[in-house]
Structure 1
């Protein structure tokens, strides 16, 4: 999609962090922006910021895990703007502390999957049929994570949800390439956002700090080794495994997404690719294949 000006974009999780950055950059390119967030005040603040800069935006308070709310969102956006050419399924949540997969409750998995995967799927199912009927180029960006590319112990629910986003996105890109719709997967590394505090959005009794959840560090850290304890805590903060990368501000991400939309890139990484880890994973996959037949 070479021309963004005059198009309409829907961005979920746009009340702050990466979503805000993406919304602002799309507006700067001349797009009308539907600013979608669970937090109504946050969505309205971003929409007002866009308006103050001369852009066009509308705010919507939506829980993307609820299909009926996403359907109502589509009705409202199409009624206001007439079309949607860019869909950014960005809303996401995570759990703290990191925890072993066997200590991650079904409710934990359900909550993370409901937002991170079903939220994306709801956006896909509701908007794609209408986008297919709209002439011209269109584009979808689905937010995944570096956690879908590298193994992160203690992060099973989040990693599973983002891997599901990857699988959906790969299939959709293949399906939609003849429909005038590109699909990109955004893989953030350590970006300074409020996602690490996202359990504030859960009912009080379900929040991890109220339930005494056993931290993954309890399995691998000895009390007499505070240096290791500190290193593991830093790892949890970074959301990535053994990462040498530094945090970046979310303001940098919006421009990356704009460039990817224009070039129809399949993947958007916010940090250098973990090439050695990816190569090792690829080698393991090839090693799992049957040996060639020797006739």
Structure 2
């Protein structure tokens, strides 16, 4: 997409963190922005922030796992702006503490999948047909995770949901390439956002702390790995740009990375330096699983 100015963007999970950064950057490029978040006050605050800088923005309180609510969102946005050229399916949740797959309840899996995968699918299902009817270039960004590219022990529900986002996005990119719509997958590494407090959105009885979930670290300690240890909840000062794959950063630079990827139609967006050794090991294991040439 060569020109963002004058286009309309829908950004979910935009009440804070990476979503806020993406919404602000798109607005700075001249886009109208529908700021979507389950937290109405947070969405309104970001919309006001955009408006104060001279751009048009609307706030929408939506649970993306609710298909009817997403249909209602689309109706509101199209009534206000007339079109949507950029869709950022960014809303997501996670579980703390990290836990073994066998200690992750069915309800845990269901909750994480409903938001992280079905939330993306709902946005895709509702907006893509209308986007296809809109002339000109369009683009979709689906937020996945570095956890879909490398193995993260103790993070099975999140990794499964984000891997499903990858599968949907790869297929959609191939399909929509003929429809004038690009698709990018955002793979954040450790970005310090309020996602680590996601379970505030569950009933008190469903929250991990109320159920006494056994942490993955009780099974195996992996010192030095902040993803496994869940150190995102520790108050520290973080840079905007990561020097290593596992360094925690602020979400401030994410918006610029996403806007640049939209303009270049990049299939993947990483917030951190690539974990090359882990990626290579996974790729090598895939190749090693193929039948070997017969030695006749």
CA shift for structure 1 position 90: 0.1
The match for 2:180 is 180
In 1, Cα distance between equivalents of 2:227 and 2:152: 13
More moved, 228-237 vs 12-21: 228-237
Question: Do structure 1's residue 200 and structure 2's residue 200 form an aligned pair?
Answer: yes
Task: Please say if residues 217 and 229 of structure 1, whose CA atoms lie closer than 8 Å, have aligned partners that are also in contact.
Answer: no
Contact 2:11/2:36 (<8 A) preserved: yes
Answering whether residue 15 of structure 2 is matched by residue 15 of structure 1, we say yes
**Given that residues 217 and 232 in structure 1 are in contact (C-alpha distance below 8 angstroms), is that contact kept between their aligned partners in structure 2?**
no
Give the alignment's TM-score, normalised by structure 2. Answer: 0.94
Q: 1:148 to 1:58 in 2, by over 3 A?
A: same
The separation in 2 between residues aligned to 1:156 and 1:236, in whole angstroms, is 14
Deviation, 1:232, is 6.6
Native 8 Å contact 2:62 2:69 kept in 1: yes
Contact 2:245–2:274 (CA under 8 A) maintained in structure 1: no
- The corresponding residue for 1:90 is 90
| Runs of 4+ residues over 4 Å off in structure 1 | 228-234
Deviation for aligned residue 1:74: 0.3
Distance 2:82 2:248 in 1: 38
Q: Secondary structure at the match of 2:97?
A: coil
How many residue pairs end up in the alignment? 286
In the alignment, is the contact (CA less than 8 A) between 2:225 and 2:246 conserved in 1? no
What residue in structure 2 maps to residue 116 of structure 1? 116
Aligned-pair CA distance for 1:234: 7.0
1:209-263 per-position Cα deviation (integer Å, ceiling 9, x unaligned)? 0000011011114xxxxxx678678732259xxx753211111100000000000
Change (3 A) 1:62 1:252: same
Shift of 1:293: 3.2
Q: Equivalents in 2 of 1:287, 1:229: separation in Å? A: 30
Q: What's the TM-score, normalizing by structure 1?
A: 0.94
- 2:237 is aligned to none
Q: Which residue matches 2:252?
A: 251
Question: Matched residues in 1 for 2:31 and 2:247: separation?
Answer: 31
SS at match of 1:251: coil
Alignment partner of 1:150 is 2:147: no
Aligned partner of residue 247 in structure 1, secondary structure: coil
SS at 2:33's partner residue?
strand
Deviation string, structure 1 residues 86-119 (Cα, Å, up to 9, x no partner): 0000000000000000000000000000000000
Contact 2:65 2:115 in 1 (8 A): yes
SS in 1 for 2:70: helix
Distance 2:272 2:26 in 1: 21
> What is the distance in 1 between the residues matched to 2:228 and 2:68?
39
2:230 matched to which residue of 1?
A: 236
RMSD: 1.6
Which ranges in structure 1 are unaligned for 5 or more consecutive residues?
222-227
Distance change (3 Å), C-alpha of 1:244 and 1:11: closer
| Residue segments in structure 2 that go unaligned for 5+ positions in a row | 234-243
Paired with 1:69 and 1:35, the residues of 2 have a C-alpha distance of 14
